[in-house]
Structure 1
Amino acid sequence: MLEHGHNHYLILASLAVAVMSAFTGLSLTQGASAMGVAQRKLVVSMSAVALGSGIWSMHFVAMLGMTLPVSFHYDALVTMMSALVAILLTGIALLLVHFGKRTGLRITLAGVCVGVGILAMHYIGMSGIQDVKPVYSAFGIGVAIVASIVLCVVSFWISYGHRESRNILSGTLVFGISIVAVHFIAMAGTHFVKIDGAQSTGLWMSNEVLAFGVTLSSFVISGAFLLVGVTFAEGMRKSQNNVQSHQPVAEKTAADAPVARQSAVIRIPYESDGQTHFVQSDDVAAVQAEGRYTYLYHPSGRLFCPWSISAMETKLANTQFVKVHRSYLVNTHHVTSFERKKDNGVCFFESMAHLDHVTVSRSYLKQVRESLGV
């Protein structure tokens, strides 16, 4: 058995990389449920790359800090495969929570997928080490599996149980620490032995070449973290300003609106588990078009409705709903604040799960403002 240790400075660097990639990936998808399908696919793909490459970079930053009494190098193909596996499984996890109704089961499965992705990346990456052979204990593997899945499920519940800014920040810290913790828990159950007369096949990388690739990856992650962080901070600032500077829309409407909208309530169907259920229209915050169907934003989650957006607009004509975009109807009773921009506007929903805001297009801006009484 070969004695191995770690450079403490590179351990801290690996933690920084993990936290930055976690923040980038988790905050990029904030508000994605209110986007169109094409835009949501793009955002989810970018987030998967950020999280997956961050997991990979964290692992190899830490491995660069590992010291052994003998020299060793890496198989380039296996090293690349470890990165792709991390991105793929992270992408599957994000698809689970951003497409379809976000339930507790989906959030849990997403956490499990990421936990498996971290483990798969770790052990595939370790198998790429040449000249020395990693030897694992069954107990060490078992502890790593349990730790990875439990920590990732917890981080996803924190991040996706409620999609508010503070939840994303808390989830970022837990997820970043989880990546590092799983790595070193797995390493604690790993030993190395020297392989005498080993013959390397295929393309291989020295620690110096790997360091170049990891440095480049970490630089890109740092840049993405800064760009996303500026947008995230600006969004938090605007949200706080809107809460402080705007009185509740319902009060303004009652006091200032020249014409009160009717308050008829209708039953809207939605489908779940092979059955058709119903919700009251006054409990629905917004309706989003999705092809020939629609999604309802309800306190219980994002619900699939068989009605088209045109049918929905007709049936909700005598309610508090107003069209704000060709793909959106908004319940004015659930709008907590409104912001006027240069040529459009934004309706905010502070307490509605899966829905932060909806953009008001220029063509509907006047009627929306009249409905809100602003």
Structure 2
Amino acid sequence: MHEHAHDPILVIASLAVALMAGFTGLTLTRGAAGLPVPQRKAVVAMSAIVLGGGVWSMHFVAMLGLRLPVPFYYDALTTMISALTAILIVGLGLMLMHFGARSPRRILVAGVLVGVGIPAMHYIGMSGMRMAIPVYTVAGIAVAVAISIALSVAAFWLAYAGRDLRNILSGTLGFGIAVFAVHFVAMAGTSFVPDPGARGGGPGLDNATLAFGVTLAAFLISAAFIMTGVTFNEAAAVAGAGPVAAPVPSPEPPGVAEAPPPPSEADPAYRIPYEREGRIRFVGIEDVAAIRAEGHYTVLYFGDSKALCPWSISESARRLPGGDMIRTHRSYIVNRRHVSGFERKKDTGVVFFEDVPAIAKAPVSRARLNAVRDHLGL
């Protein structure tokens, strides 16, 4: 039986990979429930690749640090299957969270799925080892699976009990600890014995080749982590600015049932926040010509400027008062005060803006064509 140990630097690196993958995947899916179904599918798929790929990358970064007295390598096909297993099972868990009503039962089921998927990926990946055969005990596998399920359910509960910035950070920590702990708990219950020769007929991956692939995967996760970190920082700045105050109605005289007065254009409730130069600013709703969806955020067009707004397109449609603003497309809201023209294109349309240098036109979808025409008085 071979004695084995781990390189402490690569152990720390594996934890960093798990944490970055968790943060990136959970940040990508924030606000996904409000996206159109095709866009939501794409977001969930990207998050599954990042989270599942993070499970796989964490495992093999740690395995690169495994020290055995004999050289060993991995079967390429088995290694690829282990990665796909992690991505598919994590994807199933995310689908439960983002398609259908979210409930404690769904959080539990998703956590259990991922809790089974993490050790499944681990043991499939370990089965690809050649020249040194991993040997497990039933008790060791049972402990690893039980810990994985418990920690994964906790991670999903932390991440999805709410979807604010604190939940993302808590879920990131939970996910990273779950993946990291399961790997090393499983390794503690694993022994290695000599293999007289390479088993299986598939192509082999030595540590140098594997290191190349794992480094590339870790680089991509790091790049995605940095990009999502930028948007997370912007969202945190918005949250730190505090909620926009709602108008306080003045009390009515007794016995008088008058309609409430129209909102003042200076009322903060009818200004829209946007970010510029690291500061949250506001623009009056009457100045905004159009709002376009941009991932979990939106882009505002006003005058010759365009700026990033922290609201999603669905949140914008919900927050903005009726009147001049109308949804022309799943990705666009326009202000009819700035619309200078309309063109019918078979069963869709286009609205035009002549006084807004930042945007020339916006599409009108078939489903919203009649409503937009009525809104424009056509």
For normalisation by structure 1, the TM-score amounts to 0.70
Amino acid at match of 1:24: T
Per the alignment, residue 202 of structure 2 pairs with: 202
364 and 112 in structure 1: CA distance in 2 versus 1, 3 angstrom threshold: farther
Quote how far apart the aligned CAs of 1:199 are: 4.9
User: Hey, what's the Cα distance between the residues in 2 that align with 1:60 and 1:199?
Assistant: 20
Q: 1:107 to 1:364 in 2, by over 3 A?
A: farther
Counterpart contact for 2:291–2:301, Cα < 8 Å: no
Secondary structure of the residue that 1:70 maps to in structure 2? Answer: coil
Aligned to 2:58: 58
Q: Could you tell me whether the CA contact under 8 Å between 1:57 and 1:218 is conserved in 2?
A: yes
Given the alignment, which residue of 287, 294, 301 partners 1:342? 301
CA contact (8 A) 1:107 1:156 kept: yes
- Identify the structure with bigger relative contact order (alpha carbons < 8 Å, sequence gap 6+): 1
Residue in 2 that maps onto 1:363? 334
Distance in 1, matches of 2:310 and 2:248, equals 16
Match of 1:129 in 2: 129
What's the CA shift for 1:138? 1.2
Q: 1:249 to 1:67 in 2, by over 3 A?
A: same
Listed as ranges, the matches of 1:134-283 within 5 Å are: 134-243=134-243, 246=244, 248-251=245-248, 258-259=261-262
Match of 1:315 in 2: none
**In structure 2, distance between residues paired with 1:55 and 1:107:** 19
Rounded to whole Å, the distance in 2 between the matches of 1:137 and 1:235 is 47
Q: How far did residue 365 of structure 1 move?
A: 8.1
Contact 1:347 1:357 in 2 (8 A): no
Within 2, Cα distance between the matches of 1:147 and 1:236? 32
Segment of structure 1 superposing worse, 170-179 or 234-243? 234-243
Q: Which one-letter code corresponds to 1:258 in the other structure? A: P
TM-score for the superposition, normalised by structure 2: 0.69
Q: In 2 relative to 1, CA 165–69 (structure 1 residues): closer, same or farther, beyond 3 Å?
A: same
The 2-side partners of 1:41 and 1:346 are apart by 23
Identity of aligned residues (%): 51
SS in 2 for 1:119: helix
Tell me if structure 2 keeps the 8 A contact 1:346–1:357. no
Shift of 1:172: 0.3
Who wins on radius of gyration, i.e. which is larger? 2
> Relative to 1, partners in 2 of residues 1:35 and 1:356: Cα closer, same or farther, differing over 3 Å?
closer
Q: Deviations over 1:131-159 (max 9, x none)?
A: 11110011111110100000000000000
Q: Aligned equivalents of 2:21 and 2:15: distance in 1?
A: 10
Q: Distance in 2 between matches of 1:254 and 1:114?
A: 54
Match of 2:118 in 1: 118
Which residue does 1:282 correspond to in 2?
A: none
Partner SS, residue 342 of structure 1: strand
Shift of 1:347: 8.9
Unaligned stretches of 5+ residues in structure 2: 253-259, 264-289, 293-297, 321-331, 338-378
Change (3 A) 1:236 1:138: same
Number of equivalenced pairs: 284
Deviations 1:255-299 (A, max 9, x none): 9x7338xxxxxxxxxxxxxxxxxxxxxxxxxxxxxxxxxxxxxxx
Contact 1:31/1:356 (8 A) holds in 2: no
Secondary structure in structure 2 of the residue aligned to 1:196: coil
Give yes or no for contact 1:118–1:148 (8 Å, CA) kept in 2.
yes
1:249 is paired with a residue whose SS is coil
Q: Aligned to 2:248, what secondary structure does the other structure show?
A: helix
Q: 1:52 to 1:365 in 2, by over 3 A?
A: farther
Question: What amino acid is aligned across from residue 248 of structure 2 in structure 1?
Answer: E
Pair 10,251 (structure 1): closer, same or farther in 2 beyond 3 Å: same
